Copies of this chain bind each other. A is one copy, B any other.
């Protein structure tokens, strides 16, 4: 059984949800396989309408969804209300992507003079397994961006729910399934499974053609290995850890230390620091004497709060304890503690660039939660080679802004070199996220009547 907990008290919240057993997982995967052809044949317009229907149904249930999720995540009703809107916005974004048609990447090379004619178009890869995230119970969970983009691509979806919000997942799944059925999606187009064993069995099932994951590097690596070692390996799109380095240049540090300090503290502690784009590393000029006290003051006045799960809280506590015990770091500031047994207190440590460099790669690993390193650098010339030694990150090219807050647009790329993701050419946010679930097929000298719709079917 999967038992949800109230992070504010550490006590069980709501009835437990049964784990999906092996036979159920197999039946769900086979139903997804059977839905492949009919779901593709619903067509782009039909799938767009189905995504709109799901969005409307979720919007209509916002209050109920937020109540369930707030109990299980303690993220607060304001944030969660906004997150439902983000999730439904993502569903509508992919309806618009389908209407635009560019995702199909349809290309015609006419041939002639003895050269064969080719018509290429993207088609759905097949049933997709989606592993939901802890920290976004709506936007990257049962009805999140992986689900929205895979359904848009024409792929049936089976979500492995996150253990951190089982009741929210059950509720969301019911709403999504009803809305899809009402919009004419074939049986098997969408399902949710519960439990780690169910997730692993799902990933190994021959019917599954690709998988998406948002979570820790450790969990993602384990699932990536399963995908690579299947008799038929499948693509795995994992969005893993990121420390999202932020550099404060000397001019900015001198000109607006107060704004930078308050922006940093807000970004570091947003959602109790439980963001993949949390600014884990802040590089500041060693000569920027006004900035450090401003940062200390801003962090001291920030507040902690309950973390999502006991496991996340324990990992955060261990990471802070480890940092506190190091002789190469000094504590710069602590924020106000939150309430309850799983609460995190914001903490920032200070280290010189030289000592930071000596502590690589360990010092640059992700610590999920409101904890940051402030690294003081003597000069930009000294800084550049150290930045070059950092691993891949999700956010690193934001100008005069903070990495938290990832917009959903066509130009978004929320991905990055290892270890930020397992597939650096792909994004998990924005219109291009659909590309993960598509494979090109080129048709040579095919008559128009036998081609898929995007290539002239019926023409």
Contacts and interface: CB of A to CB of B under 8 A. Distances in A.
A168 B401 CA distance: 54
| Count of identical protomers in the assembly | 2
A109 B412 contact: yes
Q: What range describes how many residues of A lie at the interface?
A: 35 or more
Contacts of A422: 233
A439 to B, nearest CB: 5
B235 A401 contact: no
Given A413-B441, A442-B413, A235 B424 contact: yes
A61 interface: no
Interface in A418-443: 418-419, 422-425, 427, 432, 435, 438-443
Interface stretch (A72-80, A259-267, A402-410): A402-410
B444 A397 contact: yes
The interface centre, meaning the residue of A116, A125, A228, A444 with most chain B CB atoms within 10 A of its CB, is: A444
Interface string A171-189: 0000000000000000000
Chain A contact residues: helix, strand, loop or mixed: loop
Contact of A115 (B107, B407, B410): B407
Contacts of A45: none
A400 B118 contact: no
A407 B110 CA distance: 11
Given A109-B412, A411-B442, A425-B435, A399 B118 contact: no
A108 B425 CA distance: 18
A120 interface: yes
B401 A445 contact: yes
Contacts of A12: none
Given A235-B425, A418-B232, A439-B425, A409 B118 contact: yes
Interface string A371-402: 00000000000000000000100000111110
Interface of A: 107-109, 111, 115-116, 118-120, 125, 224-225, 228, 232-235, 391, 397-401, 405, 407, 409-415, 417-419, 422-425, 427, 432, 435, 438-447, 450
